[in-house]
Chain A
Amino acid sequence: GAVVSQHPSRVICKSGTSVKIECRSLDFQATTMFWYRQFPKKSLMLMATSNEGSKATYEQGVEKDKFLINHASLTLSTLTVTSAHPEDSSFYICSAPRTSVPDTQYFGPGTRLTVL
Chain B
Amino acid sequence: GENVEQHPSTLSVQEGDSAVIKCTYSDSASNYFPWYKQELGKRPQLIIDIRSNVGEKKDQRIAVTLNKTAKHFSLHITETQPEDSAVYFCAGRGAQKLVFGQGTRLTINP
Contact = CB atoms under 8 A, between A and B. Distances in A.
Nearest to B43: A107
List the 6 closest pairs (A to B, CB-CB), nearest first: A107-B43, A103-B32, A43-B100, A44-B100, A109-B43, A107-B44
Interface residues of A, number: 18
Contacts of B20: none
Contacts of B68: none
Query: How many of chain B's residues touch chain A, expressed as a range?
Result: 20 to 34
B89 interface: yes
Contacts, number: 45
A27 to B, nearest CB: 16
A44 B42 CA distance: 13
Contact of B98 (A41, A46, A109, A112): A46
Interface of B: 32, 34, 36, 41-46, 49, 51, 89, 93, 96-103, 105
Nearest to A46: B97
A46 B99 CA distance: 8
Nearest to A34: B97
The DSSP consensus for interface residues of chain A is: strand
A73 interface: no
Contacts of A34: 97-98
B1 to A, nearest CB: 9
B102 A43 contact: yes
A105 B89 contact: no
Interface string A73-111: 000000000000000000001000000000111111110
Nearest to A104: B46
B49 A43 contact: no
Nearest to A57: B97
A93 B103 contact: no
Contacts of A43: 89, 100-103
A42 B104 CA distance: 10
